[in-house]
Each structure stands twice: as structure tokens, then as C-alpha cells.
Structure 1
Amino acid sequence: MAKRKRTVEEYLMHLEDKGFILSEEAVGFIFFGKKLTGASDELVNAAIEVTLKVKQRFDGSFYISLLEAFQHDQVKNRYQALRYVEQKGILT
């Protein structure tokens, strides 16, 4: 059976459980970026994950840039997103 994808809300709760507590401003920005780009929850979660790994904190402009790049290059899921950032040298 395939693993169910987490919603953005569930992913944020998962991060909080792991000790990554984001400010209300950051959470608002996450949902703003999701709406701006029309990204799926899976891609938003991948963008949050990459942002935190690369920046060691939430960086709104980096996050939005990732979502826009995913949209521009037709990245469809987490696997493709992680491969994309590795190929671009963003995440090694």
C-alpha cells in the first residue's frame, strides 16, 4: 500500500514534533507561496524541507524561488524535487 502524502498542515506539525517551530509569519508565507504558485502540498513540503536543509532556518525568498523553479521546470513530486535540487547543486 502506498504511503499517504502529508498535507502542509500535517508536515508543519511533524516539523514541530521534531523541534522545528516556525513563526506565524513563516507559516503565513508558506501558504502565500502555495497559493501564488499553485503548488501541490507534496511540492510545498519538499520546498520547506530543502529550505530548512540548505538555510538551516526558514528563508521565505529562497522557499518562493524553489516553488517557482519547480513550477517553471514542471517538477511534479517530492522525488523529482529532490533530484532537481541535487542536479542544480542546491542540495548535495
Structure 2
Amino acid sequence: MEKSLRTVEDYLHYLQSKGFRIREDAVGFIYFGKHYTNATDELTNAAIELTLKAQKEFDGSFYISLLETFTSNKIKTRHEAIQFVKEKQLIAI
């Protein structure tokens, strides 16, 4: 299944099936950030993915910061998000 086509719920289940343990309070924070920034599922999933890659665990403040950066820079897709963090050298991926 293409990552960009998953809902946030589907993506969280996918991560859990791969061994990532995301606590219940983190899940609540993920949905809070999604609604706070009015981000799409695709952009929310990209922020989760990049947070986990950069921090090796879920870091709520890093995640929110990424989502805010993406939405303020009019980033719409996972591909654009990855390109943006590479170009700005926000995280090493």
C-alpha cells in the first residue's frame, strides 16, 4: 500500500505492525497536531515518518514543529515534505 494513500489511523497500525510502539498519549498528540495545523493525512503521516527517522522515537514537539513548518510553507505531499527537509537540511535523511 502506498504510504501517501493511508489514513493516519492506517499508518499508525502499519507502524505498530513494523514494531514501533507509539503510546496512547502520543496518538492523541498526533491527532491534536493534525487538527491544530489543519494538515492532511498524507502530510501528517510524512511528519510522523520524518519525526521517527530523525528522533528514533516519537517526539511530540518535533512533530508539531515539522507540521507547522510544512503547512506554513504550503507543503502538500509526502514527496514535497521530504524534498523540503533535504533542501533546508532540517534533518539528515
TM over 0.5: yes
DSSP 3-state at the match of 1:13: helix
State the alpha-carbon separation in 1 of the partners of residues 24 and 92 from structure 2.
Answer: 26
Deviation at 1:21, TM superposition (A): 1.4
The aligned amino acid for 1:91 is A
* TM superposition outliers: structure 1 runs of 4+ over 3 Å: none
1:75 Cα offset (Å): 0.2
Match of 2:5 in 1: 5
In 1, Cα distance between the equivalents of 2:5 and 2:31? Answer: 17
Aligned residues: 90
Deviation string, structure 1 residues 14-61 (Cα, Å, up to 9, x no partner): 000000010001000000000000000000000000000000000000
The normalised TM-score by structure 2 is: 0.93
Give the gaps of 5 or more residues in structure 2: none
- Cα distance in 2 between the residues matched to 1:88 and 1:37: 21
* 2:43 aligned partner: 43
| TM-score normalised to structure 1 length | 0.94
Counterpart of 2:28 in structure 1 is 28
Q: Do 1:44 and 1:67's aligned partners in 2 also have CA atoms closer than 8 Å?
A: yes
Aligned to 2:5, what secondary structure does the other structure show? coil
Amino acid at match of 2:28: G
Q: Given residue 55 of structure 2, which amino acid in structure 1 is its aligned partner? A: K
* Match of residue 91 from structure 1: 92
Structure 2 matches for 1:56-71, cutoff 5 A?
56-71=56-71
- Percent pairwise identity: 56
**Structure 1: 5+ residue runs without aligned partners?**
none
**What is the root-mean-square deviation of aligned Cα atoms in Å?**
1.1
1:91 deviates by 2.9
